[in-house]
Structures are given as C-alpha cells and as structure tokens.
Amino acid sequence: MINRASLQQAFDLLDYLKGRGVEAIIAGGCARDIFFGVKPKDIDIIVVDSSMETVGLLLAEANVAAVGFHMYRGEETSDRIVGGYKLSGADIDVLVYRCHTVSEAIDAFDFNLNQFAIVDSRNGIDGAYVRFVGKHHWGQLVAVREDASASRRGRMFDKYIDLIPRRATAEPVNEAPVGGADGVF
C-alpha cells in the first residue's frame, strides 16, 4: 500500500527524470485509485521517447536501486511497452513505453478506466491533481484496446464495479486533488 512518503519518492524521481530531459508522468492505476479515493497499491511512472539503457543510467546516477525487466525479452512484439525498472524496496515501477509522448502512451492503455494521470506534480502532493485524460468517459467501462485477455477484462470489470460508486455524481467529474483537505494523501 502506498503512503505519502512513497508517493513523494515517486514525485521526486519524476522530477529528477524530467530535469534530465526525459518525458515522464505518473499514470494508470495509481492515479485512477487516487481519483476514486482509494490508496493505491503501487505507482507506475510512464517514460516515453527514451530507452531502457538511458533510464537505467539515470536511475544509477540518482543512486536509485532498481531491477530492470524486458516485457518481451527485447523482441519487437509490443507496440507500446519495452520494459521497465522495479525500484528496490519501493512499490514503484518506471515503465518505458515505445511512444513519443505521454499522451500517446496513455491512449495505448487497455481500458479507459486506467486513463488517469497525475498533473501538476511539480507543485507537490498538496498541489497536484489527478485528471482523467481518456476519450471515453470513465462513467462507462470501455476497452480501448481489443487485445486484452478475458481474465484482464474480468479484472477490469470487477474494478469498475468497485470504483464507480465511490465517485458517483450527477455531473461528470474529470479531476480530483491528490493531497490537501479533499485528497487521499
């Protein structure tokens, strides 16, 4: 389970990567869970327009211990994910996407329910927001990619059924604070 300290660690690493010219964002399940008022179990930092080698060197330069992994053993079988790094002692993954922009990476997520991102992270936890950035509103579960397995579809449906009542509203809401008086952290 992620706490404020681990989220701050992810924000710090995100700022470090961006400061070194790497385009990156915290997006996916972590951002989605915060939006719905649930403490996330892990954090994914999405990196684009970079290589595994560059990210590995930057992590080493920052004295961040991590174990690298390739999603497809280095083969060009994925149209989006190359691999990533699991930080040692933290529930934080740095995922390297084969995309040129973070928007392109988020558009390639499998379900709209995952198309949430933390924005304004440079303002700290209390100044950051989670924003829904998908094309199909989160009020209805939509498979953005058709290549999701049946088990993945089932897990996403269960997640949808669990989360939607937490943010039920008469008007569409597409943004929520990360911290502060109304945020999870």
Domain assignments of the chain as residue spans, ordered by start = 4-177
pLDDT band at 42 (very low <50, low <70, confident <90, very high): very high
Fold for the domain defined by 4-177: Beta Polymerase; domain 2 (3.30.460)
pLDDT computed for residue 132 by the predictor: 96
CA gap 130, 133 in Å, rounded: 9
pLDDT digit string, tens, across residues 67-100: 999 875 444 556 688 999 999 999 999 999 999 9
pTM above 0.75, yes or no: yes
Mean pLDDT lowest among 114-123, 131-140, 161-170: 161-170
pLDDT computed for residue 173 by the predictor: 83
Rounded average pLDDT over 30-37: 96
CA gap 169, 150 in Å, rounded: 30
pLDDT computed for residue 75 by the predictor: 46
CA gap 28, 113 in Å, rounded: 8
Mean pLDDT lowest among 55-59, 64-68, 161-165: 161-165
Alpha-carbon distance values, 147 to 78, 84, 163 (Å): 11, 21, 23
**Cβ proximity of 94 and 83 under 8 Å:** no
Rounded average pLDDT over 38-67: 97
pLDDT computed for residue 152 by the predictor: 94
Residue 147, pLDDT > 70, answer yes
pLDDT computed for residue 166 by the predictor: 87
Rounded average pLDDT over 129-156: 93
Give the DSSP per-residue string, the chain: ---HHHHHHHHHHHHHHHHTT-EEEEBSHHHHHHHTT---S-EEEEEES--HHHHHHHHHHTT--EEEEETTTT-S--SSEEEEEEETTSSEEEEEES-SSHHHHHHTSSBGGG-EEEE-GGG-GGG-EEEE--SS-TTS--BSSTT--HHHHHHHHHHHHHHGGGG--SS---EEESSSTTS--
pLDDT computed for residue 170 by the predictor: 63
pLDDT computed for residue 172 by the predictor: 73
pLDDT digit string, tens, across residues 16-33: 999 999 999 999 999 999
pLDDT band at 181 (very low <50, low <70, confident <90, very high): confident
CA gap 84, 70 in Å, rounded: 6
Give the mean pLDDT of the chain.
Answer: 92
CA geometry: angle at 87 spanning 85 and 89, to 5°?
155
